Amino acid sequence: MRKIIIIGSGPAGHTAGIYTARAGFSPLLFEGWMAGGVAPGGQLTTTGTVENYPGFPDGVGGSELTMMMRAQSVNAGVDILTETVESVDFSKRPFTVKTSETEEKAEAVIIATGAIAKRMHVPHEEDFWQRGISACAVCDGALPVFRDQPLVVIGGGDTAMEEAMHLSKFGSKIYIVHRRDELRASKAMQDRVFANPKIEILWSTTLVDVKGDNALSHVVLKDLKTDKEYDHEAKGLFYAIGHTPNTSFLDGAVKTDNTGYIITKSGSTITSVPGVFAAGDVQDKQFRQAITSAGTGCMAAIEAEKYLLENPL
Ligand code: FAD
Ligand code: NDP
């Protein structure tokens, strides 16, 4: 039996690993194998340069950063298994965590399985992924390739509004493409967008394809009221159509909201089950950054340590 099991291998999982290992808890971390379609290391393995993670004045490759986090975990004493957790039993302590090959028990569990940005999977999307297409404007919007260029954001929720506002600092013009003729976003966010002269909304419109040579140059849009398709210049395309948190394997073992995000006590990583903590994007639909995930990974480690000291088995 382990003191602590960590599930997930992004910045949240490895930060929790480094802290709990240094505190002497010999944690076991399940890093997954293509869990949710993403390599061990998490979402950062799907991006090029990360320019907003402190400590790297010239930026750092997403995969490189995750490999360094993993190496730091191993050096700190984290045991890592490259297996995907398929089910858990949190109904009694010690808790049980199962993969297809392994069953392990632990006195405390930290869930850090992240989330996946939804994509539309239009025909030529893969050709331009990270060569004009992104699912994170806050991460990629400031790249030189997007400066003073027409950019498109897909979605009508708060994320789309926030991303369009952010991109308006860099692009020449921002087009929000939304499939209906009213937004889902909060009134406050809508008002900010309506007041921004650089942003235009293309109502009742959807994306059907993307085009370009080496990099994205146009999106193909369809007016849903007339069914007319047309090319629209865009050097950047940003999906803001929601995320899917990786929580299906929990099968209701901890409380989630109606979109599957784990509910944590405000200002902490405490879940509905005492002894089970959640960190990173799996419990955060607002900030969704590597640094905030690492931050909550640290919080989960410290809260788990405190819990174990106060609740010995
Ligand atoms: P994730 O990074 O989501 O990793 C969790 C991982 O755990 C999963 O990917 C999977 O490998 C593993 N896992 C999942 N389920 C299981 C399971 N059942 N069992 C075992 N393992 C499992 N943020 C920035 O700060 N700067 C950026 O420049 C930046 N660029 C980005 C670019 C892109 C294209 C994307 C998609 C995101 C970007 N982000 C960026 C956001 C950042 O990547 C995330 O906020 C961060 O990675 C979340 O970390 P996490 O630890 O919560 O989980
Ligand atoms: P939402 O689910 O709220 O919105 C997703 C948007 O994408 C919707 O407008 C939806 O259209 C559209 N969409 C979904 N799938 C498709 C598709 N296949 N094709 C075209 N359009 C599609 O997600 P968000 O990420 O915006 O927000 C998630 C949660 O996080 C919300 O509760 C939000 O309030 C919150 N949030 C809060 C922020 C803040 O307070 N500052 C910032 C960011 C998020 P339709 O409307 O037609 O369904």
pLDDT value at position 265? 98
Give me the CATH number covering residue 192.
3.50.50.60
- How many domains does the chain divide into? 2
Instruction: Output the residue whose Cα is nearest ligand 1's atom 46.
Output: 290
Of 239, 273, 296, the residue that ends a domain is 239
| Domain shared by 210 and 264, yes or no | no
Task: Tell me the whole-structure pTM to 2 decimals.
Answer: 0.86
Indicate the top mutation candidate among 116, 184, 187 to test ligand 2's pocket, ranked by most ligand atoms within 8 A of CB: 184
| Domain shared by 252 and 112, yes or no | yes
Instruction: Output the residue whose Cα is nearest ligand 2's atom 21.
Output: 155
* Dihedral angle over CA of 30, 136, 299, 67, nearest 10: 40
- Report the alpha-carbon distance of residue 18 to residue 72 in Å, rounded: 7
| Domain shared by 154 and 298, yes or no | no
7 sits in the region (left: phi over 0; alpha: psi -120 to 50; else beta) called beta
| Domain shared by 51 and 77, yes or no | yes
| Domain shared by 108 and 142, yes or no | no
| Domain shared by 278 and 185, yes or no | no
pLDDT value at position 175? 98
Q: Does 156 contact ligand 2 (Cβ within 6 A)? A: yes
| Domain shared by 50 and 191, yes or no | no
pLDDT value at position 46? 81
Minimum-distance ligand to the CA of 208?
A: 2
- Active-site annotation holder among 58, 89, 127, 139: 139
Q: Does 157 contact ligand 2 (Cβ within 6 A)? A: yes
Angle subtended by helix axes 290-310 and 11-22, to nearest 10? 40
Q: Does 296 contact ligand 1 (Cβ within 6 A)? A: no
Q: Is 227 marked active-site? A: no
Instruction: Output the residue whose Cα is nearest ligand 2's atom 7.
Output: 241
What is the Å distance from ligand 2's center to 157 Cα? 4
Q: Is 298 marked active-site? A: no
Domain range spanning residue 192?
119-239
How would DSSP label each residue in the chain?
-EEEEEE--SHHHHHHHHHHHHTT---EEE--SSGGG--TT-GGGG-SEE-SSTT-TT-EEHHHHHHHHHHHHHHHT-EEE-----EEE-SSSSEEEE-SS-EEEEEEEEE---EEE-----TTHHHHBTTTEES-HHHHTTSGGGTTSEEEEE-SSHHHHHHHHHHTTTSSEEEEE-SSSS--S-HHHHHHHHT-TTEEEETTEEEEEEEESSSEEEEEEEETTT--EEEEE-SEEEE-S-EEES-GGGTTSS-B-TTSPBP--TTS-B-SSTTEEE-GGGG-SS---HHHHHHHHHHHHHHHHHHHHHS--
Longest CA pairwise span in the chain (Å)? 66
Of 216, 239, 262, the residue that ends a domain is 239
| Domain shared by 254 and 210, yes or no | no
Minimum-distance ligand to the CA of 51?
A: 1
Q: Does 88 contact ligand 1 (Cβ within 6 A)? A: no
| Domain shared by 22 and 47, yes or no | yes
Instruction: Output the residue whose Cα is nearest ligand 1's atom 9.
Output: 42
Q: Does 10 contact ligand 1 (Cβ within 6 A)? A: yes
Tell me the mean pLDDT per 10 residues along the chain, length 313: 98 98 98 91 88 95 97 98 98 98 98 95 94 89 94 96 95 98 96 98 98 96 98 97 96 97 98 98 95 98 98 94
pLDDT value at position 36? 83
| Domain shared by 130 and 51, yes or no | no
| Domain shared by 152 and 231, yes or no | yes
Indicate the top mutation candidate among 138, 193, 241 to test ligand 2's pocket, ranked by most ligand atoms within 8 A of CB: 241
* CA end-to-end span of the chain: 11
| Domain shared by 10 and 98, yes or no | yes
- Active-site annotation holder among 136, 158, 281, 284: 136
pLDDT value at position 130? 86
